[in-house]
Structure 1
Amino acid sequence: MFRSIFFEDYEIGAVRETMGRTITETDIVIHAGQTGDFYPHHMDAEWCKTQPFRQRIAHGTLIFSVGIGLTAGEINPEAMSYGYDRLRFIKPVYIGDTISVKVTIKEKKEHPKRPDHGIVSELCEIRNQHGDIVLACEHLLLVKKTG
């Protein structure tokens, strides 16, 4: 679905939340194959039993990718991703955990070189089924102004 939202339309403090998605062993195996990250933290169940977390954990980059993908329900033709800041892997995500995302508009500012655009910063908090924040980052959007 396409919906035009201009820079002036974004409201600081506005919140949206996504549906959940359960992380599977298949997700982890496919991500390892795509990235080449076969570290034992993700792939070796027996080794993980000797570690503090006691079981395999999902790649942080997998949780980032899936979480951000969950937020992409609507396409705004007036905005594009400008990047991500302050990305933190806060808690592990295990096989069978269900993640969802809370997105809060944090800040709006002028673009230093493009007067017809502004930058909107969204705080993205990826949570597990217990409500614990497992990953947080700021998503920067380059957004066209109305005038």
Structure 2
Amino acid sequence: MGTVDRWYEDYEVGESRITVGRTITEADIVLHAGQTGDFFPHHMDAEWMKTQPAGQRIAHGTLILSVAVGMTAGDINPQSMSYGYDRIRFIGPVFIADTITVTAEITDKRPHPKRPDGPGFVDELVTARNQRGETVMVLTHLYLVNRRGDA
């Protein structure tokens, strides 16, 4: 991981990247439960989940969100900061031993409404898929990115 200056002007709508895979483990789920306090049986009770339609424990949606966003993190860009996440949807379950890959696509660029000549917004659609190619989560990651003239 390095440091790369990437300015607002450098982003192109339609550009995309895909990550390598990451297998979700029981340890991931147990650690996330401990960090968040979410010990719902959907995540922690294997026997009860055998009686439910999913048939097995599922990962927390917030775990998959965190892992997916982390998987898209690459070089550090001092010209950009995360502004937040919009339209987060947990579309399908992720089970222990599922492997997810993430695609990140630039879908929009727009000036800041209060400072149109300053930093601009860049939207990145983040899509997590399991090893069967099924979409399990989507969100839009918003970045606030400096323009070259801001420096």
Q: What's the TM-score once normalised by structure 2's chain length?
A: 0.96
Q: CA RMSD in A?
A: 0.7
**DSSP 3-state at the match of 1:141:** strand
Deviations 1:29-63 (A, max 9, x none): 00000000000000000100111000000000000
Question: 1:54-69 residue pairs with structure 2 within 5 A?
Answer: 54-69=55-70
The aligned residue for residue 15 of structure 1 is 16
The aligned residue for residue 146 of structure 2 is 144
Q: 4+ residue runs of structure 1 moved beyond 3 angstroms?
A: none
Q: Does 2:80 align with 1:79? A: yes
The aligned residue for residue 119 of structure 2 is 117
**DSSP 3-state at the match of 1:65:** helix
* Alignment coverage as a number of residue pairs: 147
Unmatched 5+ stretches in structure 1 = none
The aligned residue for residue 2 of structure 1 is 3
User: 2:114 and 2:4 mapped to 1: Cα distance?
Assistant: 26
| Deviation of 1:112 (Å) | 1.5
Deviations 1:120-145 (A, max 9, x none): 00000011111111000000000000
Letter in 1 for 2:54: F
The aligned residue for residue 48 of structure 1 is 49
**DSSP 3-state at the match of 2:110:** strand
**Percent of aligned pairs sharing the same letter:** 62
Unmatched 5+ stretches in structure 2 = none
User: 1:74 and 1:22 mapped to 2: Cα distance?
Assistant: 22
Question: 1:21-40 residue pairs with structure 2 within 5 A?
Answer: 21-40=22-41
Letter in 2 for 1:33: G
User: 2:135 and 2:78 mapped to 1: Cα distance?
Assistant: 30
User: 1:95 and 1:109 mapped to 2: Cα distance?
Assistant: 39
Letter in 1 for 2:128: I
User: 2:77 and 2:8 mapped to 1: Cα distance?
Assistant: 11
User: 2:18 and 2:56 mapped to 1: Cα distance?
Assistant: 29
Question: 1:122-137 residue pairs with structure 2 within 5 A?
Answer: 122-137=124-139
User: 1:25 and 1:100 mapped to 2: Cα distance?
Assistant: 18
